[in-house]
Amino acid sequence: MKCPYCNHPDTRVIDSRPAEDGNSIRRRRSCDVCGKRFTTYEKVETIPLIIIKKDNNREQYNRGKIENGILRACYKRPVSAEAIQHTIDRIETKIFNQEAKEIPSSMIGELVMEELKELDEVAYVRFASVYREFKDVNTFMDELKKILK
């Protein structure tokens, strides 16, 4: 790592520890030439994930969209914020474990419904009613029958 003060191309690591976010490493470095110290952060480089929407448009993956959908489905339900975050983490892990550069939004929707079914059945039905675009009471009842089996 190049020293930011004297531009010497070689510095040494004095201390390494996980950063506050837990997703990177904080390193204290020292330059042997000028004696100055500085901090660097090392983070895993991720390939941006592209989501293929229903209309074949493409957009970059956004965790916030999954979070908003689940929060809306769990509104006024006895589900803790911690449980919601763990659910989103599990969904995100399944998404990134696909190791694909592009993923259809329908696959994400199915993963969300699968996780919501385990988390809270009412939240699951709320999400499914929007995601599956129920047209009438009969399609809504068909989805309820799947849960009751």
pTM of this structure:
0.65
Q: What is the pLDDT of residue 99?
A: 82
Q: What is the pLDDT of residue 128?
A: 86
Q: How far is CA 108 from CA 3, 83, 95, 142, in A?
A: 44, 19, 7, 22
Token code pair at residue 146: 């799947």
Render pLDDT for 35-73 as a digit per residue (tens, 0 to 9): 999 999 888 767 789 999 999 999 999 999 999 999 999
Q: What is the pLDDT of residue 10?
A: 92
pLDDT < 50: residue spans in the chain: none
